[in-house]
Structure 1
């Protein structure tokens, strides 16, 4: 029968980035002492196995003599149960966990998602053609364990290796095991393994191999993404930058794939510009886009329809629905005005040596009946005041002001050809902001927008709209 061994490990505040990666390395060493099994599965605590055929699929890949020499891990997509009909918060993250992974599978393989991943233990000890030597023989991936796991010597050694300070002055976390230096240890570890020459495989069966929970509260969703953003920036602006170090080790295309995933925060700049600048210009009668009859206007039409059409096509191609795609792109805009810029600012502050409160915080999955009911109804859950809510709430108000003023200008014989571009962007912003307006005005449940958030956002909106007359 299988053995279940629970390992409890202390946290050391001096090594905040070792909280999860350090625990994984501790488990890696303890399992080596007890069984040294050649296959290691990483799984989040809120996920469970959904298909008994999963291990058989994994063994088929590992047994293939053509793939085994350089195979580092097999990654299954993260899939979730309990997602409401239209996936209000884009919790499936289909673009990252499926669409991009399928594309990377045609190259050197997908990244590690942190859960639902089967590693070959050998991959944690150097590249396919060379193996690093651990500090003791028992940790070598080719060591055969002959003692039972209940042997006193095995238990004593396991306790020693599980300690938080065991790996001080060793290669663990830097050359061996799961990598330190980032809040997203899964992204960093998979990336480093592929830089060493290991390949990965994306296994996407029709029946999900594993299922887990998704955040059903907006604050949890954007806070989780903010943590990811900070961790991704830590990797992309380190000496292991995918565009330089990664491109040299894996090739330009794979380096670009990792950089594309790792530079989410940079997207906040164009999103913020398009959320405020055209609208403020419209309020002041300044026209930024070509007239509808100008041939250059077709370029903007092509870019908008091309980008959104391709994104929608990808969602439909992988079995999603139009409404889920719409909610996902809405959440992308919300995160672009909250998680991305907050994560970017916090990363910059951290690099300047200023202390921040960010650490590794597990996303809350605690639910109450009323919150679950609102989630099932497709209502966005605000409930508490958060600074993360202020930017996109402010943008919602500014877009509404701009659309109303644009309509008044249109009624006063202004040319639609001049106004159309900016009115379309403002109208698109208003359409995406409907859940925000609903939470501000129409709702009375506990998930409505807090008065404090509304007041602060209105003040910012008035400053932006009023200040625009002075600037422009």
Structure 2
């Protein structure tokens, strides 16, 4: 609106937490030692206020907003908020000539006169009307990029593919603070929207496998790709949440025996992956505790069987022209009762949702298969049989049971409004009984 050379973008629920933030950004944008012709924006990490001690919903997204950006060669992607843009970067590649139908809106135009003058206000009305976007490249090759539910990720990708670079500024004191959702259904709906948007970008003509890697190089392309293909984690997580457990219900072994060398390989991969994940999380600092890491990996599993899976399905249906989705703003309204339970680290369910049905089904089938597997192993051992082949499946089911404790608590031990709805529990129990009966008959 003011033709300023530097533009700050913020989400509507975020506020400034450090008056020195603009100076920090200008230290990069005005530093003569940097390549000014290619530095497009300075991104500050998203930081949130009101996160409970254990961060039960992984609302901080430390890997997304704080850990991963430090390893991105050309700078972090755009988060949609807490970002200072060089206005010129929104008008095309660094070396491109930028013509403008309205000279006063060109990136190099320096406005003169008072901001309250009739001439300036008239131009502001032109900008506010957005009519200059019609039948132009705005939103496609100019300005913030549209066409995806994750327009921030898409915009950052296009800018870096054009040759712009970014800087990650992560001071100890948070530059801006926002609010994270405190209800599980809001968290999952937000992540489902992200999943759909990321897949829209991944499988568009500007996808990472072709356009991204070709334009940015292999390392930056892979850095962006690990975000865009996040929803694909739903496949292995869902398989591991159900398939070994269903086999265990029938006493079938699908993993190596304890006495086989491959058993050690499976144990090494499991423990090694989690040890590395824990080390990355703890070494990142800033209140990263073992409890927060445990909740973080639990939410990764929860997202895999719920919002990532449903987001992938919804994107696939939309691509086939079967259904369409709209943009839903994440609710961050602070309810007193919800806030109290959130502060105590209690999960908030309450709503009847298909995602909760899948989650409850996974929790119940892990519990039933663990009990069944232990009984089969005991019977086989007492009868002189071999139960070594079931050990890994029993351990996996036990791991699922430990992670599902808040779900069991919400289904069987709570009576407040945030408990798992009875309808969801009954439907999930029925699905598990059908699976159990089907496996027994087979």
State the TM bucket, normalised to the shorter chain: over 0.9
The answer (yes or no) to whether the contact 1:271–1:336 under 8 Å persists in 2 is yes
Aligned: 1:435 with 2:406: yes
SS for the counterpart of 2:377 is: helix
| Alpha-carbon distance in structure 2 between the residues aligned to 1:467 and 1:165 | 61
1:327 aligns with 2:292: no
Q: Report how far residue 383 of structure 1 moved.
A: 1.1
- Tell me if structure 2 keeps the 8 A contact 1:125–1:131: no
Mean CA deviation greater in 300-309 or 85-94: 300-309
- Give the aligned partner of residue 420 of structure 2: 449
State the Cα distance separating 1:64 from its structure 2 match. Answer: 1.7
Kindly provide the CA deviation profile for residues 84-113 of structure 1, in whole angstroms up to 9, marking residues without a partner as x.
000010000111111111111xx1111001
Give the CA deviation at 1:285. 1.1
Map Cα deviations across residues 368-392 of structure 1 (whole Å, 9 max, x no partner). Answer: 1111000011000001111111111
Output the CA distance in 1 between the equivalents of 2:419 and 2:192: 22
Superposed, which structure 2 residues align to 1:160-179 within 5 Å? 160-179=126-145
1:283 is the counterpart of 2:283: no
Match of 2:90 in 1: 124
RMSD, matched Cα: 1.2
Residue 318 (1) aligns with residue 284 (2): yes
**In terms of mean alpha carbon deviation, does 154-163 or 196-205 score higher?**
154-163
Name whichever of 129-138 and 305-314 sits farther off: 129-138
* Residue of 43, 49, 56 corresponding to 1:81: 49
Q: Is the 1:243–1:252 Cα contact (8 Å) retained in structure 2? A: no
From 143, 166, 189, give the equivalent of 1:200: 166
- Give the alignment partner of residue 394 of structure 1, picking from 361, 368, 377: 361
Which residue number in structure 2 is paired with residue 410 of structure 1?
377
Gaps in structure 1 of 5+ consecutive residues = 1-30
Taking the aligned partners of 1:325 and 1:63, their CA distance within structure 2 comes to 38
Corresponding residue for 1:191? Answer: 157
Aligned to 1:265: 231
Q: C-alpha distance in 2, partners of 1:202/1:141? A: 24
Q: Give the deviation of 1:355 after TM superposition.
A: 3.1
Give every structure 1 segment of 4 or more consecutive aligned residues whose post-TM-superposition deviation is greater than 6 Å.
none
Query: What residue is the counterpart of 1:382 in the other structure?
Result: 349
1:36 aligned counterpart, secondary structure: coil
What TM-score, normalized by structure 2, do the two folds share? 0.96
Residue in structure 1 matched with residue 24 of structure 2 by the alignment: 57
Distance in structure 1 (CA, Å) of the matches to 2:43 and 2:35: 14
Give me the whole-angstrom Cα distance separating, in 1, the residues matched to 2:272 and 2:100.
51
| 1:221 matches 2:225 | no
Instruction: Describe the SS at the equivalent of 1:428.
Output: helix
1:243 to 205, 209, 212: 209
Larger mean Cα displacement after TM superposition, 338-347 or 451-460: 451-460
Answering whether residue 63 of structure 2 is matched by residue 92 of structure 1, we say no
1:54 shift after superposition: 1.1
**Does the Cα contact within 8 Å between 2:252 and 2:390 map onto a contact in 1?**
no
The alpha carbon displacement at 1:165 in A equals: 4.6
Shift in CA distance, 164/467, structure 1 to aligned 2, threshold 3 Å: farther
- The alignment of Structure 1 onto Structure 2 pairs a total of residues equal to 435
1:419 correspondence with 2:390: yes
Deviation track 1:149-191 (CA, whole Å, cap 9, x = no partner) reads: 2222322332232225541101100000000110000000001
Query: 1:44·1:115 contact (CA, 8 Å) conserved in 2?
Result: yes
- Once residues 238 and 279 of structure 2 are traced to their aligned partners in structure 1, the CA distance between those partners, rounded to angstroms, is 25
Instruction: Note the C-alpha offset of 1:459.
Output: 1.6
Q: Does structure 2 conserve the Cα–Cα contact (< 8 Å) formed by 1:236 and 1:262?
A: yes
TM-score of the aligned structures, taking structure 1 as reference length: 0.90
Q: Distance in 2 between matches of 1:94 and 1:460?
A: 36
User: Which of 192, 197, 200 does residue 231 from structure 1 map onto?
Assistant: 197
Aligned mates of 1:380, 1:131 — CA distance in 2:
54
Counterpart-to-counterpart distance in 2, 1:159 and 1:386? 44
Q: What SS does the corresponding residue of 1:212 show, helix, strand or coil?
A: strand
Q: CA deviation at 1:466?
A: 2.1
Q: Secondary structure at the match of 2:37?
A: helix
Residue 92 of structure 2 aligns to a residue in which SS?
Answer: coil
Distance between the aligned counterparts of 2:199 and 2:257, measured in 1? 39
Q: Is the 8 A contact 2:190 2:330 kept in 1?
A: yes
Cα displacement (A) at 1:51? 1.1
Question: Would you say the 8 A contact 1:51–1:207 is kept in 2?
Answer: yes
SS of the residue 2:270 aligns to: helix
> Contact between 1:90 and 1:331, CA under 8 Å: does it hold in 2?
yes
In structure 2, C-alpha distance between the alignment counterparts of 1:177 and 1:86, rounded to whole Å: 39
Within the candidate set 252, 261, 269, 1:295 is matched to 261
Cα deviation, residue 317, structure 1: 0.6
